[in-house]
Structure 1
Amino acid sequence: MENVNVAELVERLGSDEDAVRKMAVFKLQNSIGDPSFADLFITDGGLTRLRYLTLHASGNTLAYSLTSFARLLDVDKGWDCVDQELVQRIVELIVTHPLVNILRGAMSILVSIVSHPSTGSRLSQADLFGFRALKPAIAIYPQFLEMLVSRLSSADHALCANALQLINSLMRDSITHDSEAEWPKFIQKLQDLGVIRAVYVLMQDSALQDLAHPLLEFQALTKVLLRKWRDILMSQEKPEHRRALKGIYLASLPEKSPGEADNDDETRRSKRHHPDRWKRLGFESESPTMEFYEVGFLGMMDLADYVRSHQDEFQKMLLEQSTKPSRQRCPIARASLAVTAILYEHFEVDKSELEDSKSYLMMESRSSLDRLFRPLLLHWTRLHVAGLQAFFRLWKATAAETEDLDKIVELVRILVESVVGGAARTKDVQDVEEELADFEYHRLRELQMELLELTYEDAWGQHLRQVREELHHEALQFVKEQRIRCLLQGVWFPLDVNSRSESGPEKSTASHQYVQLSHNRRYLHFGKFDSIGNRAPELDTLPEKTAPRQPSTKITIHGYASSGATGHTKGHGHVRSGSRTTQKEVVLLTLRPSSHSVASEWLDGLLMLLNQQPITAETTKLIDLVSNYGLKIRLLNVRFDDATFAGEAPPVPSRHGLDEDYFYDVFGGA
């Protein structure tokens, strides 16, 4: 600032030569952002000359003048020169001028004007600030908003940022100061002009960092809008609310009883007193406005949009539901309200802008904005429709009834968290809609159980880990008993040529051997036979009695032969692990199981009989399966807040109606 002579600069701004004015205003734009310089500039009469250039200059002189004026307003100086003539000139430039450097400065000036608070101003004309300051000029240039939205598609990121900042300022001022009847019209006009789609594209752009601040503000304003709509309570006293309800009702094609078609008064009277007028549409009662309490007018907007955009589907569903018993009918209206509430919670709409701003500062320092920006929030309506259709699909797939409503709502909540919450910033909304439609019910149930375990893990921590260990031990004992019982039952094993001569020098004609564990579980009894005879238990359960195969799986049992055993047709072998130094260890028995399942049963059964760990994948999988099911059964039978019981224990369930002959506790014993 010390290198610039303010008085000389002001004098040059009033020169008759454009080149002199251009150089002066070029220097001015680099210094005017200093408040002390701005004060000297205004004191020396520079503000009037800058205003004149803003109104009448062209080319680069105009561009530098607009930038200088915008920076002057940024330091809260120069408001004395803001009037309708200036505002109209700026609006005209935005509508008619093609040069980017002029548009940037013009938009920055309007952002300051729209955002400037009128209170405390020396000007008595409050209409010079806020959105209302632009309305007279917009009346002259009605294409202003359309041109403004179109600038969001500019290849110049700085111009996109300026345009979005101005849109944000107009939205915020309208939401804050316009009446309840006015601001929704303005927001709807912007949406009709394509602002949602344009901002959505910018949020998915690779140059997100250049537009982060205005995009974050637009996202925050979207939440503000959703909150305002949610906070508007439904009321039959409001004409627009009555019209919305009536539109939904008429779209349902209500049937007329005989004689109503020729008498409009009678028709209205009949509809008014129809006992199931609103329940038929899926409301819980005949006072529908009361059911919008949680989601307000936002819920009505979502339901009305679905009915309007998918009217054929809506009418078809109502027709199908009308043929079912009342308890099996899908409650369309309540489902819609539930999906609205799910989306509202998922996107944290109640989260304040200050929290979002703090998150932005943290994320910016990590050079990662993907988690902070939520482009899908802008497509709220499409997500609501996709979520509602997923609700209908789940209701049908599970054959749900009225009492299952909360369960289906919870499944949809998990679905939204998984698909919408797991979507990358660059994922297109159409892909998300398709994934919501194709997500399989069984996958969703598995995900629900995983989330349930995580929920209880957070609540119970060490207690839940202890339960897992106990259940794993119980499962291990359960599978051990199952495997050993397979040994107790006995199994036929086919013999190959080499196995037939293992017991002596003479060639044996035996083709099979039967092996069974003794009842005291201390010995394996086995014998070789020419054929499978009747002495084998339950022979009708063996699938291939006459055509035994030679599988590759082989189990060899080593031990010490008994002195009296001949080894011709039958014998016994010890399975205990004690050593004998006086006897030579030999192969007592070779088993060739007919399948992997039989191999798993006998190999792990023998190991577990010796209190060793099982080694086959099939047994391990079975143990895990039993253990996991045990945990899930326990979780599904315990409320979440059971983890926080303090003092008084829950009441013991009554056994009223049960006799003394039957009592069974799955995990605690009889």
Structure 2
Amino acid sequence: MSGQTSAPTPITRRGAIPTNVVTYKGRRIPARIDPEARVAYIVEIMSTSFATKEHHITLCLRDESDTLLTQNNLPSKVYNHDVLKLVPSAATEALVVITSLRSSARRGSLADSNLDLPTSSDGIPLKLALFNLQKYIKEEDFAVEFMLKGGMKMLVRLLERHEGGLGGNSLAYALQGIRGILEFESGWGELSDQFIDRMLNLVITASQPNVLKPATAIIRKLVISSPQLNAKDNNLAGLKMPVTPYGQTKKDRKGKSKEVTQVNQYGFDRIYNRIKYVVGDDDGTDHRGISGVELFFKVVVKRLEGTGDLELVAQSLGLINSCLRSGHQENSKQYPELVDLLERLSIRRYVSRLMPTSSNNVVEPQILTFQARYGVILQNTRLRPVRPGSTPVQEKMLRELWEYGRLGQPEQPSPGQMRKTGMARTAAGWKRIGLCQDGEEEAGFLMELEMFRDVGELGLESLHYFATHEDNFYNLIMEQQAKPAERRCPIGKASSECVKILCEHYKISQAGHHSPANFQLFLLNFSKLHQLVLRFFMRMWQESASQTPDFPKVSFLVRSQIRLSLSDEGNKTWLNLEQDFLDTEYRTIRDRQMELLEKEDGMMSRYGVRELRDKLGREGYEVLSEQRIGCMLQGGWFNSALLNVPGISSSVRPNAQKPLRFMRLSLNRKVIAWDQFSHRIENPSFEFLRERLDIASISSVRLQTGCAVNSRSPNLVSKLSFSIMGEGETSLLDLDAIHAAQMAEWTDGIRVLRGEGGMSSKESADYIHILAELALKVRLLDITGDGVEIPEKITFGAAPQSVDFVFAK
């Protein structure tokens, strides 16, 4: 590289070196830069050319958007003729910020931080220092120097101040700085309970979105940093490991790192306990205990509809998702309390209202994640046994179910007896709604323990909702009692069957492993959906003139109708669903399912087979996850994409002369390397690719955002296009896949690597279903080939009285 006194004419013939203009304090020098030269050498030469007073080691090169020049992006900056500027290095900027923070820490008030004058030639106003902090904190050199000099401790102390502390944009810049530092493993040890309380107070009292977003993100980061979740692997997903001054990373050092341990000392329980002591107003009201938690989450939930800032909505819902996920995975005793609280705050209603306007934006992934978390809640409720003697809520529901159905009064009661309470619940009463079958003897509360064995508390809740929301529930019972015994529809048994069918349709048992691909409005209203399905079950029973032995056939009709009606759930309303279930004629449904009914032998609906299918589905998910990551390790060719969706800004401009992009995942699964090409070559290696994209910097994947750069229809959005999103509405890379399978491989692979709940594309769901069904058929060959009967329930005999026995062959 050589300095020039005047701008040279660009050389375009093959092998020529492009020309860049380098600026320094208003001066400009055209320079020819070797794209394979060391960046440190280029900086040294430019420092000599400008005759800078600063030593070249304290300087660096940046482009006009302040992107640091590195070995990875140097070739693209040279080829694109970007204007570069010689400025202080990241480490130098960090020292200047440290000086300003140290000076400000000595003052009693920071309210006038925007008017601060530097106290020395090296200092800058505090507001400018904090602005530079949030601007450069993602750069490793800046972060390492900042933390080594104690900057994190000083920044935390400034933020802990309630009186005379930071405010306005200065506060927002400081929070963004903390948010950036938490992406590294160092610095976590400085976060005290006082700092956490300050963040919680900001979440519920601040009004500026630029303060609320980073404060919410910080709490969210602390919630998912659990000692239990990361005990086996100290290297948290998405955390960077900065290089130490001795050239080693934290992972390279022997023994357990103190900093790594500090990362994992937070989690749901610690943050939840701090929330309990948050005071939200100054009127003297005591908000301690559960009221503090209710105040906090009431503000967060209300924020889902009270703002037009989509990123703030996404962060608020993401915080709720993180609390639900960490609380469940930590097996916290406070998790049920959180679930009950969110239910009282009508969280599902707020999320349902977001769905119509949140397709393909930053809120969509959080809604899908919430659906998965709600599926986990339903599964936990289903697994929770009915124990009315020890659970007051279950006792209350059983008592109200008994009273609404007037199950203790076989004859029409007098007006004074219609709401009589305290009546003993008997098997004869439960038998009237099909919860106690013939031949079962009364056994007090033991009888009630068995009624909902397969569906647990979820079955009781669903039947209770049906009884309390169905206007003619008592009339339905009396209508069944008027029929011969074999023609009566067992309402309780049908209710449990509907619960099982819906759980299987939504794959509730697998909800914690992956997020759904589409919005599921009806799932969020599970009790109302169950009510609709149960009414359909009873209508099919009546119109088909079914008898007790026909119960499995009616169940299969209901299962098929659910599969058909909910197949396109994202494009249906409640009115459409009610028409499907309540207005469709039985003859239409029967003709459509007759062939399937003739082939169905009932085996696939057995409990043991369903459990095996769920297990194989989870195994299939793990296999496909590794396959997706394997495809990313092999690399793939894409078309460069041009954004066509408003509201998204691209950080990498497509080059029409190089319309192809190749991407490959690193072996440690933390970095994606990519580069642009004019034509296809043999798949390049990871080291050959110049550009780098950290997995930790990816916030989400947005689908259908643009079209190929040389498309003949530039105004049409390609169905195979997707954008890898960074902070806010900024796209890190825009691509157009060659085919749908490739798009599913990479978009789902990125979601798996980010730990967002897993794969969500239709292609992946179909593959998992195929793998599970094939594996199920293979597993069943040994059983069905020999005509072995699969039992509905397995009974265990009494334990041996002694050890004086042998096993028969």
TM-score range, shorter chain: 0.5 to 0.7
1:247 aligns with 400
Q: Which amino acid aligns with 2:145?
A: L
Check 1:123–1:300 CA distance in 2 against 1; reply closer, same or farther (3 A cut).
closer
The alignment status of 1:133 with 2:277, answered yes or no, reads no
Listed as ranges, the matches of 1:266-345 within 5 Å are 271=424, 274=426, 276-285=428-437, 287-310=447-470, 312-345=471-504
1:103 shift after superposition: 0.6
How many Å separate the matches in 2 of 1:162 and 1:126? 17
How many Å separate the matches in 2 of 1:50 and 1:204? 41
How big is each residue's C-alpha offset from its partner over 1:499-533, in whole Å with a ceiling of 9 and x where there is no partner? xxxxxxxxxxxxxxxxxxxxxxxxxxxxxxxxxxx
In our comparison, the structure showing a higher alpha carbon Rg is 1
2:176 aligns with 67
How big is each residue's C-alpha offset from its partner over 1:114-170, in whole Å with a ceiling of 9 and x where there is no partner? 222146438989898342232222645553211101211221111111001111122
1:278 shift after superposition: 1.3
Listed as ranges, the matches of 1:177-188 within 5 Å are 177=330, 182-188=334-340
Q: Which amino acid aligns with 2:496?
A: L
How many Å separate the matches in 2 of 1:453 and 1:40? 73
- Contact residue 104 and residue 162 of structure 1 kept, 8 A: yes
The alignment status of 1:212 with 2:364, answered yes or no, reads yes
Check 1:404–1:128 CA distance in 2 against 1; reply closer, same or farther (3 A cut).
closer
- Contact residue 204 and residue 375 of structure 1 kept, 8 A: no
The alignment status of 1:429 with 2:581, answered yes or no, reads no
Q: Which amino acid aligns with 2:367?
A: L
- Contact residue 226 and residue 266 of structure 2 kept, 8 A: no
Q: Which amino acid aligns with 2:262?
A: S
- Contact residue 66 and residue 106 of structure 1 kept, 8 A: yes
2:668 aligns with none
Match of 2:545 among 399, 402, 405: 399
1:26 aligns with 131
1:254 shift after superposition: 3.1
Identify the range of structure 1 (118-127 vs 409-418) with the bigger mean alpha-carbon deviation.
118-127
- Contact residue 202 and residue 208 of structure 1 kept, 8 A: no
Check 1:11–1:284 CA distance in 2 against 1; reply closer, same or farther (3 A cut).
same
Q: Which amino acid aligns with 2:492?
A: A
1:200 aligns with 352
How many Å separate the matches in 2 of 1:454 and 1:281? 31
Match of 1:379 among 502, 525, 530: 525
The alignment status of 1:223 with 2:382, answered yes or no, reads no
- Contact residue 385 and residue 456 of structure 2 kept, 8 A: yes
Match of 2:314 among 161, 169, 180: 161
TM-score, with normalisation over the residues of structure 2? 0.50
- Contact residue 318 and residue 366 of structure 2 kept, 8 A: yes
Listed as ranges, the matches of 1:449-528 within 5 Å are 449=594, 451=596
How many Å separate the matches in 2 of 1:58 and 1:408? 65
The alignment status of 1:80 with 2:189, answered yes or no, reads yes
- Contact residue 131 and residue 174 of structure 1 kept, 8 A: no
Check 1:245–1:135 CA distance in 2 against 1; reply closer, same or farther (3 A cut).
same
Q: Secondary structure at the match of 2:138?
A: coil
Match of 1:39 among 136, 141, 144: 144
How many Å separate the matches in 2 of 1:247 and 1:648? 46
Check 1:351–1:396 CA distance in 2 against 1; reply closer, same or farther (3 A cut).
same
- Residues matched between the structures, number: 446
Q: Secondary structure at the match of 2:387?
A: coil
Check 1:18–1:271 CA distance in 2 against 1; reply closer, same or farther (3 A cut).
closer
Match of 1:103 among 209, 212, 226: 212
Check 1:74–1:131 CA distance in 2 against 1; reply closer, same or farther (3 A cut).
farther
Q: Which amino acid aligns with 2:468?
A: R
1:51 aligns with 156
How big is each residue's C-alpha offset from its partner over 1:212-234, in whole Å with a ceiling of 9 and x where there is no partner? 33223212211111111111122
- Contact residue 372 and residue 514 of structure 2 kept, 8 A: no
**Identity across aligned pairs (percent)?**
27
How big is each residue's C-alpha offset from its partner over 1:574-603, in whole Å with a ceiling of 9 and x where there is no partner? xxxxxxxxxxxxxxxxxxxxxxxxxxxxxx
How many Å separate the matches in 1 of 2:192 and 2:314? 25
Q: Which amino acid aligns with 2:585?
A: E
How many Å separate the matches in 1 of 2:525 and 2:367? 15
Check 1:429–1:40 CA distance in 2 against 1; reply closer, same or farther (3 A cut).
farther
Q: Which amino acid aligns with 1:306?
A: F
Q: Which amino acid aligns with 2:335?
A: W
Check 1:645–1:164 CA distance in 2 against 1; reply closer, same or farther (3 A cut).
closer
Structure with greater helix percent: 1
- Contact residue 98 and residue 146 of structure 2 kept, 8 A: yes
Identify the range of structure 1 (182-191 vs 120-129) with the bigger mean alpha-carbon deviation.
120-129
- Contact residue 306 and residue 385 of structure 1 kept, 8 A: yes
1:556 aligns with none
Q: Secondary structure at the match of 1:278?
A: helix
- Contact residue 152 and residue 190 of structure 2 kept, 8 A: yes
Q: Which amino acid aligns with 1:295?
A: V
Match of 1:349 among 508, 511, 528: 508
How many Å separate the matches in 1 of 2:324 and 2:216? 15
How many Å separate the matches in 2 of 1:194 and 1:270? 34
Q: Which amino acid aligns with 2:562?
A: V
Q: Secondary structure at the match of 1:76?
A: coil
